[in-house]
Amino acid sequence: MRSKSVIYFLLGLYTALVSWYYYHSVILLILHWIFWPIALIYFLITGHLADGRWLSIPKHFF
């Protein structure tokens, strides 16, 4: 059960990074952190993570 909570946390953190990368808004960052499954699906559908950006966005921060 612990491994699922770590994955849940990491996916929420990833969604927050993507949110900050595109919007630079603290309010949207908090909303995307809270509702990360919906936000992650939105980012996938709209193409925000296409063409290798799903990997280059985290590299931008670290």
**What's the chain's average pLDDT?**
92
Question: Following DSSP, what letter does each residue of 37-53 receive, concatenated?
Answer: HHHHHHHHHHTTTTTTH
Amino acid at 24: H
Average the pLDDT over 47-53 and give the result.
92
> Cβ(29)–Cβ(19) under 8 Å?
yes
pLDDT surpasses 90 at 4: no
Whether the per-residue pLDDT at 3 is higher than 90: the answer is no
pLDDT tens digits along 19-47: 999 999 999 999 999 999 999 999 999 99
Give the domain range for residue 54: 2-61
The single-letter code of the amino acid at 5 is S
What's the structural domain count of the chain?
1
What is the mean pLDDT of the segment spanning 48-61?
A: 91
What pLDDT, on a 0 to 100 scale, did the predictor assign at position 1? 62
